[in-house]
Amino acid sequence: MTEKVILIEKIDPAVFFNHSNNYLAILKKLFPTLKLTARGNEIKISGPEKEICFFEKKFDLLQNLINKRNYLSIDEVSEILLSDIENDKIDTENEVKQIENSNNVLVFGPNGKVVKARTPNQIKMVEEVDNNDIVFAIGPAGTGKTYTAVALAVRALKNKNIKRIFLARPAVEAGESLGFLPGDLKEKIDPYLRPLYDSLQDMLPEDKYIKYIENRTIEIAPMAFMRGRTLDNCFVILDEAQNATNTQLKMFLTRMGPNAKVIITGDLTQIDLPPKIESGLKNAIKILHNIKGISVVYLDVQDVVRHPLVKKIINAYSKRQDEN
């Protein structure tokens, strides 16, 4: 009989012992030959040495995954702990990567929400971002351009590939007047940036989201606020780029510093610029598409992941435009 104490040190013990999903109770059921006693951030184990060794390695994997996902279901815990892996050859980091990379999963949001690339062009977008430092993602509303881009940024932050995320949008009125909106400058601009806030809150626990915003690990700002900055060790997203002018988009692209990834998303069918002003996005694609390290991904109506009616709406407007 062997005794050992292991520490819960990669996650909050309160998360581990949560009454609604008590992982310790699952562990006791799955390892009946071991006696498990918990106190604070310690678990005391007694039983056969070989079984303890196996438990310890699996427990480390469990902590890593809970830390990354924020949640694991009972079925997932059972699968992880009982998978057939040689006791002396377990590689927890590799297992984490294998589990995360399955089914095109990008990140795991609060309460086990799975965020993944769901369509062929979204998967292509992920692949192009992995292989290029600047990617243009062009397509109609609802194709997951922004959501996929934000998920890739959060993944890079969680994996410590970058240190910061910067999200920007041009503050261009879509048939409305910014000047007549109530409130101060922040209150006027925030509605334009709300889709970016919403995407982040889908993928990060509330406490981490608030912390990252407060310490500026994540910045969300109008495009004009980027002038004069250099963004290094950063994942940068420009959303709704069809509403950026040539000058603005050139300014944005030249903010890129060392170890930076940039995604520019836009819908060329919804340009809100005045009629005589050319979209910088349309021009940039023509100028830059042949440069190595820059890629353009086109999404279409088949990539729409919103309500099924959205596809029909997009097709109806496209048909009407073609008729005219």
Question: Per-residue confidence of the chain (324 residues) as pLDDT tens digits?
Answer: 788 888 887 777 776 766 555 677 778 887 888 888 888 788 889 888 888 888 888 888 777 777 766 666 666 676 666 654 443 344 455 555 555 554 577 887 776 677 888 888 999 999 999 999 999 999 988 899 999 999 999 989 988 899 999 999 887 544 444 454 455 555 656 676 788 888 898 888 888 889 998 999 999 888 888 888 889 999 999 999 999 999 999 999 999 999 999 999 999 988 888 888 899 999 999 999 899 999 999 998 888 877 778 778 887 887 776 665
Find the distance separating the first CA and the last CA of the chain, reported in whole Å: 83
* Nearest alpha-carbon partner for 141 in 283, 263, 268: 268
264 SS3 class = strand
Looking at residue 207, its pLDDT comes to 86
Q: What phi, psi does 29 have (nearest 5°)?
A: -70, -40
Looking at residue 252, its pLDDT comes to 92
Q: List, in order of start, the domains of the chain with CATH numbers.
A: 2-104 (3.30.1370), 117-323 (3.40.50.300)
Decide the pairing of beta strands 134-138 and 260-266: parallel
- Residue 127 near residue 135, CB atoms below 8 Å: no
- Residue 237 near residue 167, CB atoms below 8 Å: yes
- Residue 138 near residue 268, CB atoms below 8 Å: yes
Region of 112 on the Ramachandran plot (φ > 0 left; ψ -120 to 50 alpha; else beta):
left
Looking at residue 194, its pLDDT comes to 81
What sign does the dihedral 221-169-301-318 (CA atoms) show?
A: positive
Looking at residue 316, its pLDDT comes to 85
* Nearest alpha-carbon partner for 125 in 117, 133, 116: 117
Looking at residue 176, its pLDDT comes to 42
> What count of other Cβ atoms lies within 10 Å of the Cβ of residue 296?
16
Identity of the amino acid at 300: D
Strand blocks (E) in 126-202: 134-138, 164-169
Q: Which residue do the tokens 């097709």 mark?
A: 315
Residue 256 per-residue DSSP state: B
CA-to-CA distance for 50 and 69, rounded, in angstroms? 29
Residue 85 per-residue DSSP state: -
- Residue 261 near residue 236, CB atoms below 8 Å: yes
Q: What phi, psi does 200 have (nearest 5°)?
A: -60, -40
